[in-house]
Chain A
Amino acid sequence: MTLVSSRIDTAKLDKIMQDYDYNKSNLIAMLQGVQQIYKYLPEEAITYIGTKVEGLSPATVFGVATFYAQFSLEPKGKYEIKVCDGTACHVRGSMPVLNAVKKKIQLKDGKMTTDNGLFSLETVSCLGACSLAPAMVINGKIYPKMTEEAVSMIIDVLLKENE
């Protein structure tokens, strides 16, 4: 796994660790705090927390970060697209929707974010919107009953916004 390197603001990380008393039991909460700032976990942030909190090490924190699906080690795009692949969405055709998004935003295989940093794509297990299956969420806004055509139209609108 390669991580995109970026300079991080250690003062912000210090504040997060301080808020959680530098207590290793609060590691997950700390990482959530970091993810809130950067939308992902920069490698330097993981190393920094692993070095500063007693009883942890960079490798240990990295282990926690890779264990939980909620943490991302890759930077997210401006538009975070989540395609629901829960049971209901799956049987109603979430995979064609996912592939349509992938094609439309020109996402390379094995990548999560497009090269221009505009879109990132992931699947989630269930959004709890099964009556709207197949569902998709972009930056918190839900798009119901997706089809390949709908995907194309929605993305076109977003692309236009960014022209």
Chain B
Amino acid sequence: MSDKKTLFIDNLEVEFTDEKTVLEVIRNNGFNVPTFCDRPDLTQFGACRMCIVEQEGRGIQASCTMLPRAGIKIHLNSAKVRKIRKTILELLLANHKRECLTCEKSGNCELQKYAAEYGITDIRFPKLEEKNYLETDTSSPSLVRDPSKCILCGACVRACTEFQGHSVLGFVNRGSNTQVQPMNGRKLSEVDCVYCGQCQAVCPTGAISIKSDIEKVWSEINNPEKKVVVQVAPSVRVALGEEFNLEPGENTIGKIYSAARKLGFDLVFDTNFSADLTITEEAAEFVQRFMNKKNLPLFTSCCPAWVRYVETQHPELINHLSSCKSPQGMMSAVLRGFLGKYYPEYNKNNTVIVSVMPCTAKKYEITREQMAGETDYVLTTQEFAKMIKNAGIEFKQLKDEKADSPFGLYSGAGTIFGASGGVAEAAIRTAYNIITGEELSNVNITELRGVGANSRTKDTVIDIKGTKVKVRVVSTLKEAEKSIKELKEGKADFGMLEVMACPGGCVNGGGQPVSCLNSLIKAKRAAGLYKEDEDLPLRKSHQNPDILKLYTECLGGKFGSEQAHHLLHTEYTNKFVNSYKDI
């Protein structure tokens, strides 16, 4: 007997093999059913019931939690299915704050989309009264939570638990009183949320959205007194195009520079430059710690969600964190310090620094007291795309431009910062040179690459002239917690730990265009970054001529110099003390 199995979808016989649910079989065969709670990277939940199908002999079933069995006959769109689905939509809308026109997610909302597709023109149930709206939480610098728009699909709760192992959000009460909340209805800023934004990324409605800084940035751009400078993070270039019908992973950096100038930004720089700078500093720091056998393993510090996680959950480990600021922080510090040297009309009173990031936690990072006054605003990739649309710019037709100098040139090592494993790979390329004085011959450290669900912990051993160093890369805080456990139990054998809080790294950040419906998008974005790395003439941070120039002209000529330390490094604080968990 062959292991070919078949079932019938709308009377058409289709094959299936190892699909776990009927929903997968449906989608793999060119059919579709609507879903809210189904997210391929999260566990099946069966909450929203939109994916119901009619099985002959068994009636209505939710296809997302139904095992495929040979011979079953299912119908995706029978009269009964359609009627029930429409009623489910109506019931969801009955309890929903129906203010679509002014909703942050308008146009991106799955509830809105299906309501339109299913022709919901009339809702039999009365509208939720304004006095019954639940309070909107705008307390966090990154995210806005509007519980009256929640449809209880549980995607955010699962993301917080399954990605971050953190469960800041949970269900409370039951039945019709059920809500999603942080601990006992606290605001997000009052709990230990790390602001990664993955809850926002998987939310099908406007219940959790990005806190927009678009209007503030417009008003700075429109202010003739101000000079507005922008920096663009590595992973934005391979995702922004998706908002303009380009393929995931297509590198649009030339168009992004051009769009930024058209929007009215006065100077355009690339965060890849400061990613290179992060590497020269962090590699020097690693080598120093490695020689002195002190505070190892070194934790990377580029990811603000991870930094906040260590500060709030494991404050005793903050001395493991690299003291380097993130690339965003370094770029802004350099611009604040030296922009006037190259552009005399820019001074500390008229310069506004904006960054375009794939990340919601970056909005939090700029509010850290240690980095206050450096970056003025953070726009996520989504917000930047909105501004481009808002300004009527035809993104696809833009001509490629270059970044401004002297902080615009970058190496391939800077580019790969956007994918999980990229920071460690870039650091190894430079650390090898600092220790041995020679260049690493094979710069492709493929063991550290990969952004899928099976590549969330990656190890490699680097042989530096006989000295072996194990480097570990993890993405998601749930995985990071496992490595921390090893460290606390004295079992950690790795010298460096790279952590990115979002699954797959920044390419899948909480501020990127919506990608939760397709697991493969983040891999395509990462491939775009690694391709740029391959294509660039320079692939090591310490060879970037602009970096060398910066050290010579401004930073005392040496990686890890005192001037560099003063400008580019930061401190961490114990954020567990006096938190709600400190009992």
Chain A interface residues (CB < 8 Å from chain B): 1, 3, 8, 10, 43-44, 46-48, 50-51, 56-60, 62-63, 66-67
Contacts and interface: CB of A to CB of B under 8 A. Distances in A.
Interface stretch (B20-28, B167-175, B246-254, B341-349): B167-175
A62 B184 contact: yes
Given A1-B185, A47-B183, A57-B166, A63 B581 contact: no
Contact of B170 (A3, A47, A60): A60
Contacts of A62: 170, 172, 183-184
What 6 pairs across the A-B complex have the smallest Cβ distances? A59-B170, A57-B167, A58-B183, A63-B170, A59-B183, A66-B172
Contacts of A47: 183, 580-581, 583
Contact of A8 (B168, B184, B583): B583
B189 interface: no
B583 A57 contact: no
Contacts of A57: 161, 166-168, 170, 183
A67 B173 contact: yes
A43 to B, nearest CB: 6
Given A59-B183, A59-B191, A67-B173, 5 more contacts: A8-B583, A50-B183, A57-B183, A59-B182, A67-B174
24 contacts: A1-B184, A1-B185, A8-B583, A10-B583, A47-B580, A51-B581, A56-B167, A57-B170, A57-B183, A58-B580, A59-B167, A59-B169, A59-B183, A60-B167, A60-B170, A62-B170, A62-B172, A62-B183, A63-B170, A63-B172, A66-B172, A66-B174, A67-B171, A67-B173
Contacts of B168: 57, 59
Contacts of B580: 47, 58
B61 to A, nearest CB: 26
B583 A44 contact: yes
B181 interface: yes
Interface of B: 161, 166-174, 181-185, 191, 580-581, 583
Q: Which of B168, B172, B174 has the most CB of A within 10 A?
A: B172
A51 B168 CA distance: 11
B574 to A, nearest CB: 15
A58 B168 CA distance: 8
Contacts of A48: 583
Q: Which of A56, A59, A60 has the most CB of B within 10 A?
A: A59
Contacts of A51: 581, 583
B184 A3 contact: yes
Nearest to A44: B583
A29 B444 CA distance: 52
Nearest to B485: A54
Contacts of B185: 1
A10 B185 CA distance: 23
Nearest to A13: B583
B173 A66 contact: yes
Nearest to B164: A57
Contacts of B166: 57
Given A1-B185, A3-B184, A47-B183, A58 B581 contact: yes
Q: Which of B161, B183, B580 has the most CB of A within 10 A?
A: B183
Contacts of A60: 161, 167, 170
Nearest to A50: B183
Contacts of B181: 59
A66 B170 CA distance: 11
A130 to B, nearest CB: 26
Contacts of B581: 47, 51, 58
A50 to B, nearest CB: 8
Contacts of B583: 8, 10, 44, 47-48, 51
A43 B172 contact: no
A67 B175 CA distance: 9
A108 to B, nearest CB: 21
B171 A63 contact: yes
A58 B580 CA distance: 10
Contacts of A1: 184-185
Contacts of B184: 1, 3, 43, 46, 58, 62
Contacts of B169: 59
Nearest to B175: A67
A25 to B, nearest CB: 16
Nearest to A7: B583
B325 to A, nearest CB: 30
A110 B145 CA distance: 27
A47 B186 CA distance: 12
A44 B171 CA distance: 18
Nearest to A3: B184
A48 B174 CA distance: 23
A50 B313 CA distance: 13
Contacts of B191: 58-59
A46 B161 CA distance: 18
A56 B160 CA distance: 12
A43 B186 CA distance: 12
Contacts of A59: 167-170, 181-183, 191
A58 B170 CA distance: 9
A152 B102 CA distance: 56
B86 to A, nearest CB: 30
Contacts of B161: 57, 60
Q: Which of A3, A47, A50 has the most CB of B within 10 A?
A: A47
Contacts of A8: 583
Contacts of B167: 56-57, 59-60
A14 B161 CA distance: 24
A48 B170 CA distance: 16
Contacts of B183: 46-47, 50, 57-59, 62
A58 B172 CA distance: 11
B139 to A, nearest CB: 16
A15 to B, nearest CB: 15
A62 B183 CA distance: 7
A3 B171 CA distance: 18
A84 B184 CA distance: 29
A58 B169 CA distance: 9
Q: Which of B161, B172, B184 has the most CB of A within 10 A?
A: B184
Contacts of A3: 184
Nearest to B169: A59
Contacts of B171: 63, 67
B164 to A, nearest CB: 10
A51 to B, nearest CB: 5
A68 to B, nearest CB: 8
Contacts of B173: 66-67
